[in-house]
């Protein structure tokens, strides 16, 4: 394997991270994290919806413009909820998984703290995806004209990749913790 690709997949060779010990398809979890982050960035900035009256919105909106519109309309709570569910929590999950994968060595105390956080975020992920899918369902069933754009699919694929990474990291983390507890 080319050294640049190897470096992307497992990080620095002098660090004892979980990426260094991944085998098979799990070696590509770092690339999946990067792809998920890129898709989330696109989902945040690209148009998601064009509507004529859904939630009192008229026109085309991305996540950022929808939140700005809700703040202008005096519905800041809804804007904060959207930001929390679709931006803050996914970024927290991505950054935590990225730190576990590349940054923290297996014997570092921060590794175990981040592993516990990733476990909790993995549980919360189902709630996040459910709310996003409910919002998509409500938009498609609205009585007003609603058009969903490719940004919605970027968001759903990004969330699916995040769950895949979190689900594949958990057995590796458990194996590391089991080996440490035996010693």
pLDDT interval class at 125 (50, 70, 90) = confident
pLDDT confidence band for 155 (50 / 70 / 90) = very high
- For position 177, what pLDDT does the model report? 63
The answer to the question of residue 12 being in a domain is no
> Is residue 42's pLDDT more than 90?
yes
For the residues 49-73, what does the mean pLDDT come to?
Answer: 88
Query: Residue range 63-89: average pLDDT?
Result: 92
Choose among 163, 121, 127, 153: nearest CA to 33.
163
| Residue 21 belongs to some domain of the structure | no
Handedness of CA 127, 110, 33, 68 (dihedral sign): positive
Please indicate, yes or no, if residue 9 is contained in any of the structural domains. Answer: no
* Percent of the chain whose pLDDT exceeds 70: 89
Establish if 19 belongs to a structural domain: no
Is residue 160 a part of any domain in this protein?
yes
Domain boundaries, position 118:
27-172
Give the pLDDT mean for 131-147: 87
Which is higher by pLDDT, 115 or 20?
Answer: 115
Q: What is the pLDDT of residue 71?
A: 93
127 pLDDT band, cuts 50/70/90, is confident
Q: Report the domain count for the chain.
A: 1
Q: What is the pTM of this model?
A: 0.84
> Can you give the three-state secondary structure of 104-129, one letter per residue?
CCCCCHHHHHHHHHHHHHHHHHHHHH
């Amino acid at each position: 394997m080319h050294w640049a690709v190897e470096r992307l997949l497992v990080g620095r060779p002098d660090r004892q991270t979980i990426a260094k010990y991944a085998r098979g398809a799990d070696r590509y979890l770092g690339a999946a994290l990067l792809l998920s982050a890129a898709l989330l960035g696109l989902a945040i900035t690209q148009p998601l919806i064009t509507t004529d009256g859904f939630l009192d919105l008229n026109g085309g909106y991305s996540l950022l413009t929808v939140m700005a519109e809700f703040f202008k309309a005096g519905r800041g709570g809804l804007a904060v909820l959207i930001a929390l569910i679709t931006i803050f929590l996914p970024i927290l999950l991505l950054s935590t998984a990225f730190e576990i994968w590349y940054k923290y060595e297996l014997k570092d105390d921060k590794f175990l703290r981040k592993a516990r956080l990733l476990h909790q975020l993995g549980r919360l992920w189902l709630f996040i995806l459910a709310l996003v899918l409910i919002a998509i369902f409500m938009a498609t069933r609205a009585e007003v004209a609603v058009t969903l754009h490719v940004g919605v699919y970027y968001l759903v694929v990004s969330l699916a990749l995040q769950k895949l990474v979190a689900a594949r990291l958990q057995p590796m983390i458990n194996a590391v913790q089991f080996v440490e507890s035996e010693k």
